[in-house]
Structure 1
Amino acid sequence: MISMSTVESIRQKHRNGMTIAQICREEKVDYKTAKKYIEKEDFSEPLPARSEKPKIVDQYKDWIVQLLKENEHNWYKQKLTAKRVYKLLKEAQPAAETSYSSVNRFLNEYNRKNKKDAGFSHLTWYPGEAQADFGEADFDTSCGRQRLKYLVLSFPYSNKAFVQIFRGENCECVMQGLLYIFEYIGGVPGKIVFDNATGIGRRTCKILEENEVFIRFRIHYGFESRFCNPYAGHEKGNVETNVGYIRRNMFSPPIQIPSDIQEFNETELLVMNEKLMGERMHYIHQKPVDELFEEERETALLPLPPKRFAAKRILNRKTDNYANVTLENIHKYTLPSEYRNSEVIVETWAWKVAVYDLCGNLIEEFDREYGSERTESISAVTSLRSLVRKPGSWSNSIFRANLLNGNPFKEYLDRTRDENLRHRIFYEFEKAMGSFEYTVVMEAFTEMAAREVDMTKECNVMACCSRVNSCPVDFSFNQTGVSFDKYGCFMMYEGENNDAAI
């Protein structure tokens, strides 16, 4: 095929009176080619459609199509491959002269024309509509590098997104994260699209049931919810994109977060979020994302209710013989022994677990545990009460395991073989916790153990706790090498008759 400039030159020379033979010599084209373009009347560009040529496989296509229809309802892992269809064809019709490549091309064309999926459509998202989903990323914590979850709420109209970090992915985390975001932006989206009921409901076949507590949450804030189909993350593609954008641009490399993630969510994380979003331009409107979201917030968000929702679930549980309450089948929370085999009320929040008796009196409060490994949580008070009753269990107690190696109080009790002495020390420890916080009492007993002060006398214990509470001095981890003994007169008197502190 020759170029259009050559065709134009051929026709121009012919109009100037040159013969076809002369034109062929000058343009170096075949006589028939030159004659064709001189006589051609329509130079409109034709549609480059392929001409259908008869193929050998066409005479067997009815048999192949029938085979495919008979097996179209098979499990997807047992669908017929091109190789298998070709083999069955040769077995059924040994004289068939078609090749495997011909069968393969026919199957590809047949599958392309008979796809059953609906494909993708561009969706229009209006102001006040949002999408929510969880992502996961590694974070550097006080316990080392951990893989945690983070909830993202994005607004497709403005493309602005907000993030909250959690240790788990459940209904309480969803509610707590949305609650923080609602209060931060000062409004509530009218509709939120969620993943396939992750954390906030249960799907049985095609029926989806929301958790009752999440229905309460929706009613309280007045928004509607909609859920994607299974394995259809593209139905909420905006939040899926923002989950990855936040991971790559805010959490890469892994950031250092404090042990109190709840406070971090409400303070530093929101500042980081605003800084990241403030750098973005909308991919269609070519306007700053913050500017579009400000319009959305002023015109389309619902007002906040006058009261904050308590983002918790309430469960009825019965303790076992060890006074344990078990959640998610693997996380145990130990109560005082008097609550063995008792009915209790459990509140599960995103960050804590609170246990009440049937009259609504608080028994214990724990940090909530997450993950697939078994955990056992017991408060210092409960562990100590157990030691008061059974001082002989000290060496294998959780109370001892939670103390650092080298702690003077731990080493003192390890050296002590007198169970009666241990009992009296634990008794005074528990008694002091009625007046002071656990950390104060622990520091006081650590100091007394380091200075070998009698810890069985109430006057010594209360005086040291009072002094630590008002002016803490760390005797147990003194790295200076300076002796504090000569300052003992300012702390407490030593001796048989002067055990009391001033």
Structure 2
Amino acid sequence: MLQMANYEFIKKQHHLLGKSIREISRETGYSRQVIRKALTFTEIPKYQLTKPKSCPVSDPVKETVQQWLRHDGLMPVKQRHTAKRIFDRLVAEYGFQGGESTVRHLVRTLKAKPPEAYVPLEFPPGAFAQFDWGEAHISCGGKMMKVQLFCMRLANSRKFFVKAFPHQKQEALLQGHVDAFAYFGAVPKTITYDNLKTVVKRILEGSSREEQELFIQLRAHYLFDSRFCEPAKGNQKGQVEHLVRYARQNFLVPMPEVRSLDELNVHLLAACDAFEQHPVPRTGQTVGERFDQERPFMLPLPTQPLPCCRTVSVKSNSLSMVHFDRNAYSVPVTHAANSRLWLKAFVNRIEIYEGTERLATHDRCYDKDQEILDYDHYLDLLLKRPGAVLYARTLHLQELPPIYQDLLLLWQRRAGGLKDFVRVLLLHREYDRTLVEEALIEARRRNMLQVDAIVQLLHQRTLPQHRIPPLQLPPDSSIPRVTVTQPNLRQYNELTKRSMVH
């Protein structure tokens, strides 16, 4: 095949030196047909096959491999042929003599698809946003932890919101939306979603979906519309798909070391704010400037945010516990066993209700097979059964301050001491726990370890009428100064001992 330099030489010989095609052919040895082609050719010559190259090793099995791959289209995704499995079958069933790399190249060629073309899009301000979840790993309290990243992006300004949650359940989905809307200060008119189960109950014909009740409640509260991608068509919300990768690679590399998810979310929120300085392609504006123009076109926030919880029906057992998500949470013993209650699961807490009355609130536990107990729920029963105080699991789990441990050690040896200990714990319902602890410390210092004395000390700290200032007499006062010696009350103890001896 002639090179471009050969074409240049032939053209110069003919046009500049005036040589004929026959003369050039005689001097160069090229045929006159080649000379004529070179005189009219202007592009860099490329070699073109007249027919495809043969592959003597893989051609005999090509049709068989194509048939297997077509049949794979009807099989479950996780039970389809890999290139290694195809190679093994060819060797075992057809005596294939080629190498595994030859089969891999053949499979790659047969599976190759032409690249898809996309239409450039431009979204009107305030009209559209996109949402997706992403996964990432962090170091939380010195332990590796997988978190779920709630990602929402406004399609016009590229402004986004990213927050980490421990899971993707409905309460996290609701809380993420509420926090995102509060961060934007407004609500986009339409949000695009995948067909995730926390939103879509069932995929109907075309773009229709049967949605989850809690998601409909969210949409009705904030008045936005939902739009759903076709199954396995993540490119239909490409902006947020890119955001998931961007957040993971730029906000969480290197892996952050935090003490809690709250600390991580402070870091993510700062990153969302900093992104406002990035330029928006083809606009000459930053994300922040573009967002200031977009926000007036968005929907206003409602007066109150939506309560972000999932409500489930639960039943209390004989130990005054209800079970949820493989953990047990306590309720007051004043409610009979087997009572039908309602549990509201928030992201960070659990609330338990009987009708409209809230019975208990607990921090939500994400470990499994744990008991989350509040000793106050069992005090009414312990008052009737004080003998159980020493072995009550709820008191051991609470890790009471040392003063309570000392008090229990002293009172368990005297008659009625365990019941008095329960009465002290019941004081927490009326007084702040810090005040009760201070009163106990003072009572021990003054050797006044009786329930009534402790209550009197609490009255002195909380009731104004018990805070009488000492009387200050002027130097010229005519009122006589009387000094009263404090009596020795131990004498009564001595008399009591003597009467016991007689």
Q: Is the 8 A contact 2:347 2:364 kept in 1?
A: yes
Residue from 451, 455, 462 that aligns with 1:457: 451
Give the equivalent residue in structure 2 for 1:83.
87
Residue from 353, 357, 374 that aligns with 2:354: 357
Give the equivalent residue in structure 2 for 1:341.
338
| Cα deviation code 1:327-374 (max 9, x no counterpart) | 22x12211112222111122233332222223x222112222335x22
Q: Is the 8 A contact 2:131 2:153 kept in 1?
A: yes
Give the equivalent residue in structure 2 for 1:281.
279
| C-alpha distance 429-466 of structure 1, shift in aligned 2 (>3 A) | farther
SS of match in other structure, 1:41: helix
Matched, 1:424 2:420: yes
When structure 1 is superposed on structure 2, of 34-43 and 147-156 the one drifting more is 34-43
| Cα deviation code 1:367-392 (max 9, x no counterpart) | 22335x22222224214445434443
| C-alpha distance 103-308 of structure 1, shift in aligned 2 (>3 A) | closer
TM-superposed CA distance for 1:142, in Å, is: 6.9
Structural mapping, 1:389-468, within 5 Å: 389-391=384-386, 392-403=388-399, 407-414=402-409, 416-418=411-413, 420-430=416-426, 432-445=427-440, 447-448=441-442, 451=445, 453-464=447-458, 467=461
Higher-Rg member (1/2): 2
What is the aligned-residue identity percentage? Answer: 23
TM-superposed CA distance for 1:427, in Å, is: 0.8
Kindly provide the amino acid, as one letter, of the partner of residue 154 in structure 1: R
Residue from 302, 310, 323 that aligns with 1:313: 310
Give the equivalent residue in structure 1 for 2:468.
none
| CA distance in structure 1 between the aligned counterparts of 2:243 and 2:176, rounded to whole angstroms | 16
Matched, 1:374 2:376: no
Q: Is the 8 A contact 2:407 2:421 kept in 1?
A: no
Q: Is the 8 A contact 1:197 1:227 kept in 2?
A: no
TM-superposed CA distance for 1:295, in Å, is: 2.2
SS of match in other structure, 1:423: helix
Kindly provide the amino acid, as one letter, of the partner of residue 323 in structure 1: S
SS of match in other structure, 2:285: coil
CA RMSD of aligned residues (A): 4.5
| C-alpha distance 82-181 of structure 1, shift in aligned 2 (>3 A) | closer
| Cα deviation code 1:99-123 (max 9, x no counterpart) | 988777655544336x9xx957456
| C-alpha distance 205-304 of structure 1, shift in aligned 2 (>3 A) | closer
Give the equivalent residue in structure 1 for 2:216.
215
Kindly provide the amino acid, as one letter, of the partner of residue 31 in structure 1: G
Kindly provide the amino acid, as one letter, of the partner of residue 349 in structure 1: F
| CA distance in structure 2 between the aligned counterparts of 1:287 and 1:421, rounded to whole angstroms | 74
| Cα deviation code 1:92-145 (max 9, x no counterpart) | xxxx999988777655544336x9xx9574563623211223334556767977
| C-alpha distance 75-187 of structure 1, shift in aligned 2 (>3 A) | closer
| CA distance in structure 1 between the aligned counterparts of 2:97 and 2:419, rounded to whole angstroms | 95
TM-superposed CA distance for 1:283, in Å, is: 4.5
Q: Is the 8 A contact 1:197 1:210 kept in 2?
A: no
| CA distance in structure 1 between the aligned counterparts of 2:255 and 2:122, rounded to whole angstroms | 32
| C-alpha distance 100-386 of structure 1, shift in aligned 2 (>3 A) | closer
| CA distance in structure 2 between the aligned counterparts of 1:279 and 1:202, rounded to whole angstroms | 39
TM-superposed CA distance for 1:192, in Å, is: 1.5
| C-alpha distance 459-231 of structure 1, shift in aligned 2 (>3 A) | farther
| C-alpha distance 49-202 of structure 1, shift in aligned 2 (>3 A) | farther
Residue from 316, 320, 343 that aligns with 1:323: 320
| Cα deviation code 1:160-196 (max 9, x no counterpart) | 2112343432212222221122233222111212343
| CA distance in structure 2 between the aligned counterparts of 1:326 and 1:133, rounded to whole angstroms | 31
Kindly provide the amino acid, as one letter, of the partner of residue 213 in structure 1: L
Q: Is the 8 A contact 2:129 2:155 kept in 1?
A: yes
Q: Is the 8 A contact 1:428 1:455 kept in 2?
A: no
When structure 1 is superposed on structure 2, of 208-217 and 98-107 the one drifting more is 98-107
TM-superposed CA distance for 1:215, in Å, is: 0.7
| CA distance in structure 1 between the aligned counterparts of 2:91 and 2:211, rounded to whole angstroms | 50
| CA distance in structure 2 between the aligned counterparts of 1:119 and 1:469, rounded to whole angstroms | 78
TM-superposed CA distance for 1:398, in Å, is: 2.5
**Structure 1 unaligned regions, length at least 5:** 471-492, 498-502
